[in-house]
Amino acid sequence: MQAMDAMDEKRDAATDAGTLKERQAPLKARYREDPQAAVVTLIADGELDGTGVACRVRTATALAEAGLHPATGGDGTQLCSGDMLLEALVACAGVTLRAVATSLGLSVAGTVHAEGDLDFRGTLGVDKEAPVGFRDIRLTFDLDTTASEEEIATLVKLTERYCVVLQTLVSSPTTSVRVRGPQAAA
């Protein structure tokens, strides 16, 4: 119980605007002085099993097994990577919104919802004209706040600007694919 109380205290401290600014100030100063220090390579790894159509992805807290969506022949017992993408968007947008609200001194609670439209004809190769991937993604915040309309507009504008996953989806960064290993050279 004491461990939970300590975690709650840390969480409460992190939601205080002064504490957040205090934690971020030395980072911002360092990044202004040394822009290269701000460039961090995030890494994700998956393990391909010799059987089945799945990929195990190690997260910070668990091992997640992704497989085929039922619309592509999966049985629904494994995670769908498309769902995981939307979950990453929700997580990033939610954390970003909370950080921005904290910085602005706004009290905000509520939910974050993302949904996206896929045409599975594309990924199954049924129709070469059908796109592979999401064609539309919608992000919705249902907020419980006393903030004014102007404050909410600023909150959402800044959240959109600073949400890493949203900006990645919107900007489509350069992406490369390569194969390593003994068979790759053959």
pTM equals 0.84
pLDDT at 171 over 60: yes
* CB neighbourhood size of 123 (10 A): 17
Could you give the residue ranges of the DSSP H alpha helices within 42-116?
81-104
Structural domains in the chain?
1-37 (no CATH), 80-171 (3.30.300.20)
Q: 103-150 pLDDT, tens per residue?
A: 999 999 999 999 999 999 999 999 999 999 999 999 999 999 999 999
Residues contacting residue 94 through CB under 8 Å, at least 6 positions apart? 112
68-82 b/e with 16+ CB inside 10 Å = b?
Answer: bbeeeebeeebbbbb
So what's the pLDDT on residue 184? Answer: 61
Residues of the chain with pLDDT > 70, as a percent, come to: 89
Instruction: Give the β-pairing of 79-80 and 63-67.
Output: parallel
**How many residues make up the chain in this entry?**
186
- Written as six digits, the tokens of 50 are 């010799």
* CB neighbourhood size of 54 (10 A): 18
CA–chain centroid gap for 142, Å, is 18
Closest CA to 97 of 25, 158, 31, 23: 158
So what's the pLDDT on residue 49? Answer: 77
Q: 31-69 pLDDT, tens per residue?
A: 999 999 999 988 888 999 767 899 999 988 989 999 999
Closest CA to 111 of 71, 133, 142, 157: 142
pLDDT at 6 over 60: no
